Structure 1
Amino acid sequence: MKIKYIALLIFPLIITSCCGTISNAKKEYNISKATTLKSEWKSNPKEWFLEKDTLRGTGGPMHWAVIQSKKKLPKNYEIDFKVNMTRESLFEVMLNIDKENYIRTYLYQIDQNIVIGRGVYNKNSDEYGKRGGPTLFKKTMKLENNKWYSVKIKVSNNQLFFSVDNETFLECSLEKSNLSQQGKLGFLTNGEAKIIDLTIKNIE
């Protein structure tokens, strides 16, 4: 009887640890240690690294710095964090990465917009046409370097919600816009970006 009871306690822990998604229903996911970053994310350690509680990426206009999770995002999820673009003009959240395709949700200083787009990223090439992609939806927002922005992204029932500072909002249907409906998570910068207070959680 005791063995059965112990087995019932251990089984959910095994399921959780072997889960193929970046978060599960019972907890929020965040990056708190350099060892977590190394074991659960794919990146060049010279381009993305953890400094205390800050995830920092450094790239350039000709070579975008990308970090990608090894596990998939849940079907329905919510992502919250704060970002500071300390250099250059582009910071991008790469959603539902499926092979080379993904959803672009980004802050773009040159056009002063937040954007949802269809993206492609080839990790072996910096050629034009093998990274980035077309804009589908955009909204004007004043963006500048060395300022913290609160970003919230939610995907629920194939509907994507993207907001910055709870002031500027974009929304679209993944199905109607022919966007990837499931995949991994990534971050991209063409300069330097800092991320704090990152949480990813599964939602019902």
Structure 2
Amino acid sequence: MKMKVTAIVLLQLFLISCSGTISSSKKEYQLTKESKPESDWKFDTKEWSLENQIFNGTGSAEHWAAITSKKQLPENYQITFDVNLTSGNLFEVMLNFEGQNYIRTYLYNIDQNIVIGRGTYIKNSDEYGKRGGPTVLKKPFDFSSNVWHKVKIQVQNKQLKFIVDENTSLECSLEKQNLSQKGKIGFLTNGKSQIKNLVIKTL
């Protein structure tokens, strides 16, 4: 009987580890001391690194640094993390990234806004129009450099909520705005960005 229970538990763990999504109903994705970014993410080691449980991204106005997950986001999910932009003016979360299209959820310190938009990202191309994309919604936000900001993103029942520092938020319907409804997660920066306390969980 014990052997049977052990086999069932091991099978469940195996199925979770082989899941096509980055998180499941039984397991969250987190940055921990044991995290191995190369097993979960695609990135250029000259642009992104993980040190002391903090993702460090280095891009420029001419070349945005990108990191994308190897696994899909679940249909309903919540993402939380802290971000610090130490140079540059853009930090962006790529949601439901599939092919070349994704949902832009980003903080922009030139216009001092948080933004939801339609994104395009073509790997290995820095041409204008082959990264970023049009705005769907935006709201004023005091996006200061060298300050840690708390970000919370939820997608549930095809409704997107984007909240920064608990008091500035945007919300929209993926269907009504014709936004991508499935795909992976990624991060983009045109400067130097730090991400800590990253948790992705299934709702």
TM-score category, normalised to shorter length? over 0.9
Aligned to 1:93: 93
Aligned to 1:6: 6
- Structure 1 residue runs without a partner (length 5+): none
Q: CA deviation at 1:3?
A: 4.4
Q: Does 1:52 align with 2:52?
A: yes
Q: Which runs of 4+ in 1 moved over 2 A?
A: 1-7, 31-35
Q: TM-score, normalised by structure 1?
A: 0.96
Counterpart-to-counterpart distance in 2, 1:146 and 1:137: 25
- Structure 2 residue runs without a partner (length 5+): none
Q: Contact 2:90/2:108 (CA < 8 Å) preserved in 1?
A: yes
Q: Contact 1:34/1:49 (CA < 8 Å) preserved in 2?
A: no
Give SS of 2:104's match. strand
Query: Across the two proteins, how many residue pairs are aligned to each other?
Result: 203
Give SS of 1:8's match. helix
Task: Give the letter for the 1:146 counterpart.
Answer: N
Q: Contact 1:141/1:168 (CA < 8 Å) preserved in 2?
A: yes
Q: Contact 1:62/1:126 (CA < 8 Å) preserved in 2?
A: yes
Counterpart-to-counterpart distance in 1, 2:156 and 2:124: 32
Deviations 1:131-172 (A, max 9, x none): 100000000011121011000000000000000001101000
Q: Contact 2:153/2:162 (CA < 8 Å) preserved in 1?
A: yes
Q: Does 1:23 align with 2:30?
A: no
Deviations 1:28-60 (A, max 9, x none): 211225762011100001100011121110000
Q: CA deviation at 1:27?
A: 2.4
Judging changes above 3 Å, is the alpha-carbon distance between structure 1 residues 12 and 110 closer, same or farther for their aligned structure 2 residues?
Answer: same
Counterpart-to-counterpart distance in 1, 2:2 and 2:49: 45
Give SS of 1:57's match. strand
Q: Does 1:186 align with 2:166?
A: no
Counterpart-to-counterpart distance in 2, 1:180 and 1:70: 17
Give SS of 2:102's match. strand
Q: Contact 2:95/2:105 (CA < 8 Å) preserved in 1?
A: yes
Judging changes above 3 Å, is the alpha-carbon distance between structure 1 residues 59 and 161 closer, same or farther for their aligned structure 2 residues?
Answer: same
Aligned to 1:149: 149
Give SS of 1:110's match. coil
Judging changes above 3 Å, is the alpha-carbon distance between structure 1 residues 4 and 39 closer, same or farther for their aligned structure 2 residues?
Answer: same
Give SS of 1:150's match. strand
Judging changes above 3 Å, is the alpha-carbon distance between structure 1 residues 61 and 20 closer, same or farther for their aligned structure 2 residues?
Answer: same
CA RMSD of aligned residues (A): 1.2
Q: CA deviation at 1:4?
A: 3.3
